[in-house]
Amino acid sequence: MANREALRELQSRLAARLQSSQHESRTANWLAVESGGQGFLLGLADAGEIFPLSALKPVPHTHSWFAGVANLRGGLHGVVDLAAFLGLRAPALPESVREHARLVALNPALGAQCALLVERLAGLRLPDQLERLVIGDEAARPAFAGPVWRDAEGRAWQELNLPALARHEQFLGIAS
């Protein structure tokens, strides 16, 4: 008898939690990464799996920021060196950061079979941990550049809109 009451109580608590979670607004969560000495925020819903840096096969006649292709879980993914694409450093990944470098695949729902080469993962960020900064002329920035945020330590983090990046003409135009 006590087991039935405990089960009913558990079901009631779960139903109440489910109902309250449906009324709460969803908050954005980000994966924080570093590349080219800059901090970037990638929406968790738009980012896919994270992989260690593996052997990349170079692709001839592509821009220098296109690092090559990688076999990630049996599928070929184009790999874009994020820092080189954004002009933050030369395309060659420094040997000193290679150990911590990762490939962040884009969510397959974005329709781009690619991954971003980043120099380091910096954890997860929540909106209540950050303060939005107002930066000069936001209209002059590319469509994939979202807001800039500052954390409690005063570090700036540039949000990247991965769906907009996956559709950006320069990002798609890998041929040199």
Sheet holding 156-160, edge to edge: 120-125, 30-35, 38-43, 156-160, 145-150, 131-133
Domains of the chain: which residue ranges?
30-172
pTM of the model: 0.82
Q: What is the pLDDT along the chain (176 residues), one digit of tens a residue?
A: 566 676 566 566 655 655 554 444 456 699 999 999 999 999 999 999 999 998 899 999 999 999 999 999 999 999 999 999 999 999 888 888 899 999 999 999 999 999 999 999 999 999 999 999 987 766 678 999 999 999 999 999 999 999 999 999 999 999 98
Going by C-beta distance under 8 Å and a sequence separation of 6 or more, which residues neighbour residue 8? none
Angle subtended at Cα 26 by Cα 20 and Cα 28, rounded to the nearest 5 degrees: 150
DSSP code of residue 164: H
Distances (CA, A) of 105 to 78, 96, 156: 9, 23, 23
What is the rounded CA–CA span in Å between residue 3 and residue 121? 46
CATH of range 30-172; options 2.40.50.180, 1.10.580.10, 2.120.10.30, 2.60.40.10: 2.40.50.180
